[in-house]
Chain A
């Protein structure tokens, strides 16, 4: 008998997810971890928590700090760079590269923690 490949339904990821959700409503099982995995997970959890807190504090300081700077130094509205008020540039442009840099720093650190 010739070998016939198994037929596979090809659907969109979201349809697949929806079907999975419909089917996967089985019984809930008590989560288990191998002792080795549990140990590694505990170490990763502690390190990621430390790094995450650091990044979170840095992000919050940057985000909440900028409005405080604007409130404390209204004179920034009068300083102009290429005839645009400096405070406008600090709000419309500055946050995005800063956030992107923070994102890549956090990504780098989080991946380094997981390196084996």
Chain B
């Protein structure tokens, strides 16, 4: 209950900042930003603050419980994305003066058509990125309270859109940078506390995984989504109200919003689409994607998507424009790699402890809540409640930071690139976009989080990555080449996603290439762009348009205060 109150407090404060943002918060801090140039370190803290989402705060640890140690490849890819950004995009993109990829497309290739196509891709990436955020926020809200999942999602959607429509707290680099520090502290302090108080036995068990085959004690499992369990023998379970039921053997469907209490020593049922926590595949440091096998392929697929997709994330690209010039944009990217590295040392801690203390979460089909569920397992007194509260607040801060930024970019793409209109139009667009995203998030609770998280990255990697990389480094890129490459990448990725959602169930390497299509969609998009460009003729100014991006600014001689 205390936790719910604190989360509510965070939401109210966010709303108040949104309301008063125009008058107080924004002017003061932005006055600072405007008068004192933003240093790369501060800006990289702001970039990290915007980037660390609910998926990083909660999702990765949940994936470790569900899929195994190999899930730690996700954060490696998330961090490596900034290396690609640093090497290929950061400085030239800043020097282009373009604020978004649609702007870049028009500046480099003089194609309004490509601009609109890129804006449509921004919508797709934003939606695919925001749906898992809303899903996780909904799950956390329904874990720390008794609200059902859909209420949690609706509340999260309302808070985000209201914040933005009322003025948007965003913006201020100082607010974002502060957010990063808050998230870092709220993540690290409970992790250290957990490791200290769990005791030597749990610590030993955490690094010596054994297969989760029988319930070590009477265990209540709360099913937030409907799942099908496979039982090897008959099990008598209780409902919390005391009625008993005999399940199995065989396949047993369990409805959502139900709690079953398994007796001590009962065999653990299997769930479709997941290995058993602590099993043979669980402890391998390679990604075990829904038990499809081929761990090496799965690992490289996720790495490709996340490392190449980061440079195309619209809300992150926008952040780099707070840098005064190309050189500091490059420094910002480099510092971001270091800052993210500190944060990503810790999801694994939650993951391995969660595997020991709350392995039953994996039965419920939703492991994203493991981080928030841990403290109460370790300590029943006020410290446990405090730690749960800290984590829930941090998770919500992470969710809000990313979602508000993304929703702004989505609404901007609609109201500036697709259907030009005024500020009023922008506000209405925000609300409509949020409503549409909530409707998408409602049925997505049972989907595998690992799949959802990387889809946004995969679309970015197969559309904007080739567009930016070839646009910046290859003078012969043509309009036609860029358009057909983006179309090829977009349609193939969306086709694969549709097949994963609605197609027949697949097994083995085919399943990996459909659920994580980056290994073939990214090369396809690059190849299309190159082949179509070579068949055409780039305009005579093309080389100048590209070289301009590589020309460094003259050293600044004016004092920092303009």
Contact = CB atoms under 8 A, between A and B. Distances in A.
Interface of A: 10-15, 17-18, 20-22, 25, 28, 30-33, 37-38, 40-42, 44-45, 48-49, 52, 55-56, 59, 63-64, 67-68, 70-71, 74, 76-77, 80, 83-85, 87-88, 90-93, 95-97, 99-100, 102-104, 106-107, 110-111, 114, 116
B341 A74 contact: no
B334 A106 contact: yes
Contacts of B76: 63, 91, 95, 99
Given A32-B544, A40-B551, A67-B299, A17 B99 contact: yes
25 contacts: A10-B34, A15-B168, A18-B412, A41-B547, A48-B550, A55-B87, A64-B303, A67-B296, A67-B303, A68-B296, A77-B283, A84-B207, A88-B348, A92-B69, A92-B348, A95-B79, A96-B79, A99-B79, A99-B83, A99-B341, A100-B338, A102-B337, A106-B86, A110-B91, A114-B327
B171 interface: yes
A21 B299 contact: no
Given A77-B283, A114-B327, A14 B318 contact: yes
A54 B288 CA distance: 31
Contacts of A20: 99
B543 to A, nearest CB: 9
Given A13-B173, A103-B334, A107-B334, A21 B550 contact: no
B30 A91 contact: no
**Which of B100, B204, B207, B322 has the largest number of chain A CB atoms within 10 A?**
B207
**Which of B88, B107, B284, B321 has the largest number of chain A CB atoms within 10 A?**
B284
A102 B30 CA distance: 33
A103 B412 contact: no
Q: Could you tell me the dominant secondary structure of chain A's interface residues?
A: helix
B552 A99 contact: no
Contact of A13 (B171, B303, B327): B171
B318 A17 contact: yes
A100 B333 CA distance: 10
List 6 tightest A-B contacts by C-beta distance, closest first.
Answer: A12-B171, A96-B341, A41-B547, A41-B551, A103-B337, A107-B334
A59 B76 CA distance: 12
Given A13-B173, A52-B473, A106-B83, 10 more contacts: A12-B21, A14-B171, A21-B416, A33-B544, A33-B547, A38-B544, A52-B87, A76-B285, A104-B334, A116-B555
B382 interface: no
A40 B341 CA distance: 36
Contacts of A92: 69, 72, 345, 348
B402 to A, nearest CB: 14
A4 B559 CA distance: 23
Nearest to A71: B296
A103 B550 contact: no
Contacts of A10: 27, 30-31, 34
A12 B26 contact: yes
Interface in B5-64: 21, 26-27, 30-31, 33-34
Given A14-B171, A93-B345, A111-B327, A88 B26 contact: no
A30 B545 CA distance: 8
Contacts of B286: 67, 70-71
B295 interface: yes
Interface in B392-432: 408, 412, 416, 420, 426
Interface of B: 21, 26-27, 30-31, 33-34, 69-70, 72-73, 76, 79-80, 82-84, 86-88, 91, 99-100, 103, 106-107, 110, 168, 170-173, 204, 207, 283-286, 295-296, 299-300, 303, 307, 318, 321-322, 327, 330-331, 333-334, 337-338, 340-342, 344-345, 348, 408, 412, 416, 420, 426, 473, 541, 544-548, 550-552, 555
**Which of A12, A25, A70 has the largest number of chain B CB atoms within 10 A?**
A12
B74 to A, nearest CB: 11
B106 A28 contact: yes
A13 B33 contact: yes
Nearest to A84: B207
Given A21-B99, A83-B204, A31 B318 contact: no
A6 B106 CA distance: 33
**Which of A18, A22, A106 has the largest number of chain B CB atoms within 10 A?**
A18
A116 B551 CA distance: 12
Given A67-B299, A68-B296, A13 B79 contact: no
A64 B341 contact: no
A87 to B, nearest CB: 4
A63 B84 CA distance: 12
Given A18-B416, A41-B548, A106-B87, A59 B80 contact: yes
B300 A64 contact: yes
A59 to B, nearest CB: 5
Contacts of B168: 12, 14-15
A85 B412 contact: no
B334 A33 contact: no
A45 B73 contact: no
A44 B327 contact: no
B550 A45 contact: yes
A15 B21 CA distance: 12
A28 B321 CA distance: 21
